[in-house]
């Protein structure tokens, strides 16, 4: 009995005495412990190293999401630069175009006769879309390039206030924009179906580059059709991604939200550039063009030069209407 | 100047959440705001580890890169702070942050958030040091009092280390060498682009 106890003491004493040496030889209690490096290496794109968290917020269980930095670099770098290039580049192109081509005049001169081009509903839809778009574009651009362009001019405090109002405007004006987008689509889709004469227009550069060139066009020429479809498709993309950004919980994951944000910013940059061109040609760029959306009535010579086939259609239908009303009035005589 | 960092030694963290509680108490943060949290990885499995995580005060902070109003700034100590007066609550920083640090006091219509709140490394904000308004907006400013962040200071197992990056890296390195293992300086690669090599 005693010798067994003695042996146990001795056996126990041996490792106790050689503690410093034996520590390495012992089974490492943490050999199976999770390693940060291994977890990071195993991550799929957009995934987070995560676990369990005791606070009632599932999102807090993501410990490290390295790919968030990729989105940050995209938003803070690439998209920021692209937005500036799109807007400044387009403005530069327009200035260049103006210097080379000047204002496109009505070559035959104003006739003084007016034709109704856009009725009240069409103009209402256009301006609702236009006003909401301009505010959305300016406030949206402010979010991405305002800190480079406006912040140095007005200071941090004023810029913060301006941006806070801008954010509210952006959130709320998105809805009239979407309504107007649907309205514009319904009103004009019938006139914007591509046809063979559009080729001719494109081949002649729309007559934009040279004087005296006036390719035939119906209510909308190929360039306008291009703007129409870019606005409809771009606007739809903006609306869908915008709704996802407005309701972050609906965007499923943070990675989805980031994806929607990138699409939103890219399409926005493209549309801003496009609409700058549209605004130019509808105002200073072309004599008589603004009337179409201003009073709704255009000069007949302007219409003949830019929408020859449409003028014929209008004249025929007025003639027919006159004939019909004339026929009706005959029996009364 | 010191370059302040956090380092959580996951092999020591016992998930007591005292750092979380201390932070909440020290800064009197509102309900629903967690400037610091403890995440347990492989919970209940062999080799599970807990990591206490807050804002890591990154080098080239991604939150600052995406902030539309440029409200972030880095102090001489390498601490990333922000100006709540400028913040518009857009939420971009929360999508840019790899550590889930930015917090928002409320969600209103269209995902609108209140002013962002996050760990200040116990060093307040742009208001005058130790002023009442600074405390109200950002919480205590222990750094201005010559103290380190409370979460790390009261950590019972000294798992959470705060202080100059070089010094806490040395402490961690010594521990790893002495005990023979270490699961890594969690978040360092992502936040600072380097890690503690042993």
Instruction: For residue A160, list chain B residues with Cβ-Cβ distance below 8 A.
Output: 69, 71, 83, 85-88
Q: What is the pLDDT of residue A30?
A: 57
**Do residues A118 and A292 make contact, with C-beta atoms less than 8 angstroms apart?**
yes
Q: What is the pLDDT of residue A1?
A: 43
Q: Closest Cα partner for A129 from A281, A225, A231, A270?
A: A231
Across the interface, which of B47, B63, B185 has its CB nearest the CB of A34? B47
Q: What is the pLDDT of residue A155?
A: 94
Q: Which CATH class is domain B4-192?
A: alpha beta
Q: What is the pLDDT of residue B31?
A: 85
Tell me what the mean pLDDT of segment B80-104 comes to.
95
Helix (H) or strand (E) holding A64: strand A62-64
Q: What pTM, to 2 d.p., does this model score?
A: 0.87
% of chain B surpassing 70 pLDDT: 96
Answer whether B196 touches A (CB < 8 Å).
no
Answer whether A254 touches B (CB < 8 Å).
yes
* Arithmetic mean of pLDDT over chain B: 93
Q: What is the pLDDT of residue B18?
A: 97
Q: What is the pLDDT of residue A23?
A: 40
Q: What is the pLDDT of residue A288?
A: 87
Q: What is the pLDDT of residue A209?
A: 80
Instruction: Check CB contact under 8 Å for A156 and B83.
Output: yes
In angstroms, the separation between the Cα of residue A149 and the nearest Cα of chain B is 11
Instruction: Check CB contact under 8 Å for A151 and B69.
Output: yes
In angstroms, the separation between the Cα of residue A314 and the nearest Cα of chain B is 46
Across the interface, which of B69, B99, B184 has its CB nearest the CB of A36? B184
Q: Which DSSP letter does residue A78 get? A: I
Instruction: Return d(Cα A250, Cα A313) in angstroms, integer.
Output: 48
Instruction: Check CB contact under 8 Å for A163 and B88.
Output: yes
Q: Tell me phi and psi for residue B8, to 5 degrees.
A: -105, 115
Instruction: Check CB contact under 8 Å for B88 and A146.
Output: no
Per-residue pLDDT for B188 more than 60?
A: yes
Domain spans of chain A, in order of start: 70-315
For residue A50, give the 3-state DSSP assignment.
strand
In chain B, the N- to C-terminal Cα span, in Å, equals: 25
- Interaxial angle between packed helices A222-246 and A156-188, expressed in degrees from 0 to 180 and rounded to the nearest 10: 130
For residue B89, give the 3-state DSSP assignment.
coil
For residue A206, give the 3-state DSSP assignment.
helix
Per-residue pLDDT for B110 more than 90?
A: no
**Do residues B4 and B162 make contact, with C-beta atoms less than 8 angstroms apart?**
yes
Sign of the C-alpha dihedral computed for residues A258, A262, A265 and A271 taken in this order: negative
Name the residue in chain B with its Cα closest to that of A172. B110
Any idea which residue has 């549209």 for tokens?
A278
Q: Tell me phi and psi for residue A222, to 5 degrees.
A: -60, -40
Per-residue pLDDT for B111 more than 70?
A: no
Print pLDDT tens along chain A (333 aa): 444 444 444 344 433 333 333 344 445 555 667 788 888 888 888 788 999 999 888 889 999 999 999 999 999 999 999 999 999 999 999 999 999 999 999 888 888 899 999 999 999 999 999 999 999 999 999 999 999 999 999 999 999 999 999 999 999 999 999 999 999 999 999 999 999 888 888 888 888 888 878 888 898 999 999 999 999 999 999 999 999 999 888 877 889 999 999 999 999 999 999 999 999 999 999 998 999 999 999 999 999 889 989 988 888 888 887 776 655 555 444
Name the residue in chain B with its Cα closest to that of A41. B189
In angstroms, the separation between the Cα of residue B82 and the nearest Cα of chain A is 12
Name the residue in chain B with its Cα closest to that of A154. B69
Q: What are A121's two structure tokens?
A: 């509903």
Q: How many CB pairs under 8 A join A and B?
A: 175
Q: What is the pLDDT of residue A32?
A: 64
In angstroms, the separation between the Cα of residue B131 and the nearest Cα of chain A is 20
B18 Cβ contact partners less than 8 Å away, ≥ 6 residues apart: B154, B155, B156
Instruction: Return d(Cα B120, Cα B122) in angstroms, integer.
Output: 5
Name the residue in chain B with its Cα closest to that of A258. B95
Q: Residues 14 to 33 of A: which have CB under 8 A from any B CB?
A: 23-24, 28, 30-33
Q: What is the pLDDT of residue A11?
A: 40
Answer whether B102 touches A (CB < 8 Å).
no
Instruction: Check CB contact under 8 Å for A39 and B110.
Output: no
**Do residues B50 and A145 make contact, with C-beta atoms less than 8 angstroms apart?**
no
Summarize pLDDT for A104-157 with one digit per residue, the tens. 998 888 888 999 999 999 999 999 999 999 999 999 999 999 999 999 999 999
Q: Which CATH number fits domain A70-315: 3.30.1330.80, 1.10.3720.10, 3.40.50.300, 1.20.950.20?
A: 1.20.950.20
The answer to whether ipTM exceeds 0.90 is yes
Instruction: For residue A257, list chain B residues with Cβ-Cβ distance below 8 A.
Output: 95
């Amino acid at each position: 009995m005693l010798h067994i106890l003695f042996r146990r003491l001795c056996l126990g004493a041996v490792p106790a005495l050689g503690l410093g040496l034996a520590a390495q030889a012992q089974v490492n209690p943490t050999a199976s412990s999770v390693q940060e490096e291994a977890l990071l290496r195993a991550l799929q794109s957009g995934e987070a190293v995560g676990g369990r968290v005791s606070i009632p917020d599932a999102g807090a269980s993501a410990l490290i999401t390295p790919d968030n930095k990729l989105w940050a670099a995209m938003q803070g770098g690439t998209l920021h630069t692209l937005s500036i290039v799109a807007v400044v580049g387009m403005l530069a192109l327009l200035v260049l175009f103006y210097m080379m081509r000047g204002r496109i005049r009505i070559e035959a001169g104003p006739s003084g006769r007016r034709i109704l081009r856009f009725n009240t509903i069409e103009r209402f839809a256009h301006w609702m879309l236009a006003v909401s778009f301009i505010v959305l574009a300016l406030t949206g651009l402010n979010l991405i390039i305002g800190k480079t362009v406006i912040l140095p001019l007005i200071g941090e405090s004023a810029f913060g206030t301006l941006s806070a109002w801008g954010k509210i405007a952006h959130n709320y004006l998105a809805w009239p924009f979407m309504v107007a987008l649907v309205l514009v689509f319904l009103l004009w889709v019938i006139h914007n179906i591509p046809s063979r004469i559009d080729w001719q227009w494109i081949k002649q550069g729309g007559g934009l580059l040279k004087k005296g060139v006036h390719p035939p066009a119906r209510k909308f020429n190929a360039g306008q059709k291009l703007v129409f479809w870019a606005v409809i498709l771009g606007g739809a993309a903006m609306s869908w991604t915008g709704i996802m950004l407005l309701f972050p919980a609906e965007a499923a994951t943070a990675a989805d939200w980031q994806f929607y944000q990138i699409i939103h910013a890219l399409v926005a940059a493209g549309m801003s550039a496009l609409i700058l061109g549209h605004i130019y040609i509808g105002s200073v760029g072309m004599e008589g063009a603004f009337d179409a959306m201003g009073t709704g009535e255009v000069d007949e010579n302007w219409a003949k030069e830019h929408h020859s086939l449409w003028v014929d259609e209008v004249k025929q239908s007025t003639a027919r209407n006159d004939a019909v009303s004339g026929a009706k009035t005959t029996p009364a005589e | 100047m010191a370059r302040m960092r956090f380092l959580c030694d996951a092999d020591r963290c016992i998930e007591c959440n005292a750092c979380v509680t201390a932070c909440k108490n020290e800064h009197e943060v509102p309900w629903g705001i967690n400037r610091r949290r403890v995440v347990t990885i492989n919970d209940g499995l062999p080799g599970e580890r807990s990591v206490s995580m807050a804002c890591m005060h990154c080098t080239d902070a991604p939150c600052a890169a995406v902030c539309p109003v440029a409200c972030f700034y880095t102090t001489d100590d390498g601490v990333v702070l922000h100006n709540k007066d400028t913040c518009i609550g857009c939420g971009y920083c929360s999508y840019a942050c790899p550590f889930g640090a930015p917090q928002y006091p409320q969600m209103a219509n269209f995902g609108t958030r209140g002013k962002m709140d996050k760990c200040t490394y116990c060093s307040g904000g742009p208001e005058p040091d130790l002023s009442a308004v600074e405390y109200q907006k950002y919480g205590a400013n222990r750094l201005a009092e010559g103290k380190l962040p409370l979460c790390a200071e009261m950590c019972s197992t000294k798992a959470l280390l705060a202080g100059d990056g070089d010094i806490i890296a040395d402490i961690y390195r010594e521990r790893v060498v002495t005990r023979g293992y270490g699961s890594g300086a969690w978040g360092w690669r992502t936040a600072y682009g380097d890690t503690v090599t042993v």
